[in-house]
Homo-oligomer: A and B are copies of this chain.
């Protein structure tokens, strides 16, 4: 099998560096171009010392010209800037595989984007061409895809927790999604509220009712056959990686725990990266591409509680992006993706 050459735009952030880490173990793909805006020309290992002895070379400038020769480009740029780069690359070379890890290609409706992201979309024509890269739920659409919108970290956990309910018609909400995230999801830039002493031993909800991943989750549920709005509350937890999502749904009359469990098995048995477990815990998926899921029927209140745990930088970002690339290119889906958590 020929080696796929990969470019990473914005490789100094957490998702860019995680892509680089995972690709080191990929048998059929190799990161050949790493770009940066603020570190152009610097040695990769001077900015990312965790790669000392593993990666050589310097950062190229973040621009289309740097990435033209790559078979695949992963864009880890912020939203807005991402759409511009993807647009340029796609115009110049429509066959180049582009996987965008920002929000720019995720929402099909540019109006919705403007409403939640408070700015006009930079390249709305891309939206109809991009495939939403949640592999387990939309795998057939990904085969051969050239433009892939990599899902958000929260939506990945939310959709995988709820998909069996919606797709198999067990519950259509209203859903309450209470998510707890490690801090790397907020990015690498220093912020006063994420200064170590401000976040250690801290725990708080944020963006109540206004988080931008909300419309992405709702769009995903509709694609699975659902209808309803979700109430989504993200929280920050003092750890670096991991998202635990606790999802609440009304149980239909007559549903039993046995039927509920069966539904989750039906959707996920055989999936390499979704595991039904007794007690999902972010520690068990750390560093891996796995999602651990459980579903419990609380009889007293007829409420279904589905829980999912994932590593926001792997299955919630870089890992799922590689999984999507593998499917798009027809490579073995698990290539380069750790299947076990690095515990403890």
Binding site for B on A (CB under 8 A): 14, 17, 20-21, 24-25, 48-55, 174, 176, 178, 180, 182-184, 188-192, 194-206, 208-209, 229-231, 233, 235, 237-242, 244, 246, 248, 271-275, 277-288, 290, 292, 296-301, 303, 305, 307, 309, 338-344
Q: Is the CB of A54 within 8 A of B208?
A: no
Cα–Cα distance between A188 and B195 once the two chains are bound (Å): 8
Q: Which residues of B contact A229 (CB under 8 A)?
A: 300-301
Instruction: Tell whether A344 pairs with B197 under 8 Å between CB atoms, given A203-B180, A282-B204, A305-B233.
Output: yes
A288's closest neighbor in chain B, by CB? B50
Complex alpha-carbon distance, A307 and B240, angstroms? 23
Bound Cα distance A123, B49 (Å) = 42
A187 to chain B, nearest CB (A): 9
**Interface pair B195/A240, CB less than 8 Å apart:** no
Residue of B nearest to A245 (CB): B205
List of B residues within 8 angstroms of A241 by Cβ? 201, 344
Chain B residue at smallest Cβ distance from A250: B174
Tell whether A277 pairs with B344 under 8 Å between CB atoms, given A201-B239, A296-B209.
Answer: no
CB distance from A290 to the nearest CB of B (A): 6
Give the complex CA separation of A340 and B305 in angstroms.
36
Cβ contact of A53, chosen from B196, B208, B290, cutoff 8 A: B290
Query: How far does the alpha carbon of A180 sit from the alpha carbon of B17 in the complex, in Å?
Result: 27
Q: Which residue on chain B has the smallest CB distance to residue A248?
A: B176
Which of A240, A275, A279, A342 has the most C-beta atoms of chain B within 10 angstroms of its own C-beta? A342
Q: A17 with B197: in contact, given A25-B25, A49-B277, A53-B275 (CB under 8 Å)?
A: no
Nearest-neighbor residue (CB-CB) of A182 within chain B: B197
Contact B198 A344 (CB under 8 A): yes
A239 in contact with B203 (CB, 8 Å): yes
- Please determine whether B240 and A239 come into contact, CB atoms closer than 8 angstroms: no
User: In the complex, which residues of chain B have a beta carbon less than 8 angstroms from the beta carbon of A233?
Assistant: 246, 305
Question: How distant is A20 from chain B, measured CB to nearest CB, in Å?
Answer: 8
Pick from A196, A239, A248, A280 the residue with the most CB of B within 10 Å: A196
Known: A246-B205, A248-B231. Contact between A240 and B197, CB under 8 A? yes
Query: Separation in Å of the A69 CB from the closest CB of chain B?
Result: 24
Find the B residue at minimum CB distance from A268: B53
Nearest CB in chain B: distance from A239 CB, A: 5
Distance of A283 Cα from B188 Cα, bound (Å): 15
Contact in complex: B239, A283 (CB < 8 Å):
no
> Are B51 and A340 within 8 A (Cβ)?
yes
| Given A298-B208, A301-B174, A344-B240, also A292-B199 (CB < 8 A) | no
For the complex formed, measure the closest distance between the CB of A266 and the CB atoms of chain B, giving whole angstroms.
17
Residues of B within 8 A of A230 (CB): 301
Question: Contacting A191 at CB < 8 Å: which of B195, B200, B309?
Answer: B195
